[in-house]
Amino acid sequence: MKRVLLSALFRQPAAFAGRRVTVAGWVHSLRRSKAVAFAVLRDGSSLTPLQVVLSPALENYDAVASLGVGSAVVVTGEIVLTPDAPQPLECRAETVEIEGAAPPDYPLQKKRHTLEYLRTLPHLRPRANTYQAAFRLRSAAALAIHRFFAERGFCYIHTPILTASDAEGAGAMFRVTTLDPADLPRDAAGNVDYRADFFGKRASLTVSGQLEGECMALALGNVYTFGPTFRAERSNTPRHAAEFWMIEPEIAFADLEDDMELAEEMLRDVLRRLLDECADELAFFETHFSPGLCDRLRAAADTPFARVTYTEAVRLLEDSGKDFVYPVFWGCDLQTEHERYLTEEVFKKPVFVTDYPREIKAFYMRQNDDGRTVAAMDLLAPGIGEIIGGSQREERLDLLEARMRELGMRVEDYRWYLDLRRYGGVRHAGFGLGFERLLLYVTGLPNIRDVLPFPRTPGSIS
């Protein structure tokens, strides 16, 4: 079947005027009067639905005109321009093939459903407008990111999902094993003996492709990964998922300043592309979820981001007169409430916070000369808080090794990582952009569960 997508019809209505086309989709609503019936059809390619005029002359008119919401049909008919109607065109059906009828218990009847209700139907909710828009935007954003890096000569690499190392040293990893939990092999000390496991040692799902990204950057120069990432954090917040996607560039011969420049250029470029290519979807999110969204995104795309050191940020928070739930002091980890105050009330745009205390950051970050901070940066965005975390990496073998020992890490397990410093080591830096955090920022949707097709969060894997 050669079907025309609704997106193509609405992109160039005049090109289809008077032409006979085949379209296929799901009935969004159906209105029947004595002489004629109207079906509103969606096919997932565009926010604008197609009105199909059903005349009693249709061979199966009675069956078609009594179809329920959600039924799947293939329609062949003539496209007629309708300059006086809200939609630019309609289709006068000549044949309607009922591909799959939906009975009246179809859970997504025409009324507006809450996102909470729709989340209970992960298999059907992609048919709701909001999710079609969210998932189309997700696809466009992924492509925009790939184009950004491709145009700058970055090599797109694939880092492993199964790993034996904890890239963040935070221990929030999902264990992967083929051992029988009811019959675990144990060593003399009574600990699980992973030598009998599939890989011969303890394995997990990756929390970040960074360490492997560093290996690749120190060979290929500028690289990025874009892949699934897993964190077994018990954070039940609207911004944390157990499975999310992360974009991680790693650049050689580069410092923190280069890293921030890249992050800002990438984000603003992606925003510009989305404003251009997903204008309908963004207008939809503005109307239904986030007043002023498009202007905010346009301003972010057009204006340089702000910058502040952690030390200054703490001072701003202390002087804010705000009654934060979590106390603010030099050395504290910034909480979402602090991040949002900085980006929404102080700077009113995305802001990089730099040079965090070493104690609250990962082992691989480059130590600053002050002895107490590291060359780290987080990018905070209004409405969300942290969307990017990055740093310059510690390239000095002695300092890195000392820091790992200080943190009680098993240095033997990271020999390969230290080799990168031992053989032709260079200044390098990188960051991780949480893809769903970006999508929350761009759509104004309230919850990470709304931008992931099948969200995995603590206690939930439907």
Residues contributing to the site for Mg ion (CB under 5 A): 389
Q: How far apart are CA 325 and CA 362, in angstroms?
A: 25
Shortest separation between residue 342's beta carbon and ligand 4AD, angstroms: 15
Q: How far apart are CA 48 and CA 355, in angstroms?
A: 47
Q: Toward ligand 4AD, which CB reaches closer, 51 or 210?
A: 210
Among 388, 404, 420, 440, binds ligand 4AD (CB under 6 A): 388
Q: Toward ligand 4AD, which CB reaches closer, 239 or 348?
A: 239
Span from 18-26, 112-120, 128-136, 240-248 in contact with ligand 4AD (CB under 6 A):
240-248
Binding-residue pattern over the window 392 to 431 for ligand 4AD, x denoting contact by CB under 6 A: --------------------------------------xx
Q: How far apart are CA 292 and CA 373, in angstroms?
A: 38
Q: How far apart are CA 25 and CA 8, in angstroms?
A: 14
Span from 6-14, 142-150, 244-252, 274-282 in contact with ligand 4AD (CB under 6 A):
244-252
Left (φ > 0), alpha (ψ -120 to 50) or beta: where does 221 sit?
left
SS3 204: strand
390 makes contact, choosing from ligand 4AD, Mg ion, none, with CB < 5 to 8 Å by partner type, with ligand 4AD
6 makes contact, choosing from Mg ion, ligand 4AD, none, with CB < 5 to 8 Å by partner type, with none
- In the region spanning residues 355 to 384, those forming contacts with ligand 4AD, defined by CB under 6 A, are none
Q: How many degrees, rounded to 5, is the angle at CA 240 between CA 334 and CA 291?
A: 85
204 makes contact, choosing from Mg ion, ligand 4AD, none, with CB < 5 to 8 Å by partner type, with none
Q: How far apart are CA 176 and CA 155, in angstroms?
A: 29
Our finding on whether 46 is near ligand 4AD (CB under 6 A) is: no
278: which residues sit within 8 A by CB, 6+ positions away?
A: 136, 137, 140
Q: How far apart are CA 404 and CA 383, in angstroms?
A: 35
Shortest separation between residue 168's beta carbon and ligand 4AD, angstroms: 5
Burial 238-262 (b: 16+ CB within 10 A, else e): ebbbbbbbbbbbbbbebebeebbeb
Beta bridge partners of 314: none
272 makes contact, choosing from ligand 4AD, Mg ion, none, with CB < 5 to 8 Å by partner type, with none
Binding-residue pattern over the window 176 to 215 for ligand 4AD, x denoting contact by CB under 6 A: --------------------------------x-x-----
- In the region spanning residues 55 to 114, those forming contacts with ligand 4AD, defined by CB under 6 A, are none
Binding-residue pattern over the window 135 to 174 for ligand 4AD, x denoting contact by CB under 6 A: --------------------------------xx------
Shortest separation between residue 430's beta carbon and Mg ion, angstroms: 13
Which class for 431: exposed (0-12), middle (13-18), buried (19 or more C-beta within 10 A)? Answer: buried
SS3 127: helix
Shortest separation between residue 261's beta carbon and Mg ion, angstroms: 19
Residue 16 contacts residue 79 (beta carbons within 8 Å)? yes
344 makes contact, choosing from ligand 4AD, Mg ion, none, with CB < 5 to 8 Å by partner type, with none
Q: Toward ligand 4AD, which CB reaches closer, 196 or 426?
A: 426
Q: Toward ligand 4AD, which CB reaches closer, 97 or 243?
A: 243
Binding residue count for ligand 4AD, defined by CB under 6 A: 23
Q: How far apart are CA 30 and CA 52, in angstroms?
A: 9
Q: Toward ligand 4AD, which CB reaches closer, 172 or 179?
A: 172
Span from 1-9, 41-49, 237-245, 323-331 in contact with ligand 4AD (CB under 6 A):
237-245
3-state per-residue secondary structure call for 140-154? HHHHHHHHHHHHCCC
Q: Where are the beta strands (DSSP E) in 285-375?
A: 306-309, 351-354
Q: How far apart are CA 427 and CA 50, in angstroms?
A: 56
Which residue from 178, 165, 241 is spatially nearest to 204, judged by alpha carbons? 165
Q: Toward ligand 4AD, which CB reaches closer, 89 or 207?
A: 207
Q: Which residues bind ligand 4AD (CB under 6 A)?
A: 167-168, 208, 210, 231, 233, 240-241, 244, 246, 248, 386-391, 430-432, 434, 436-437
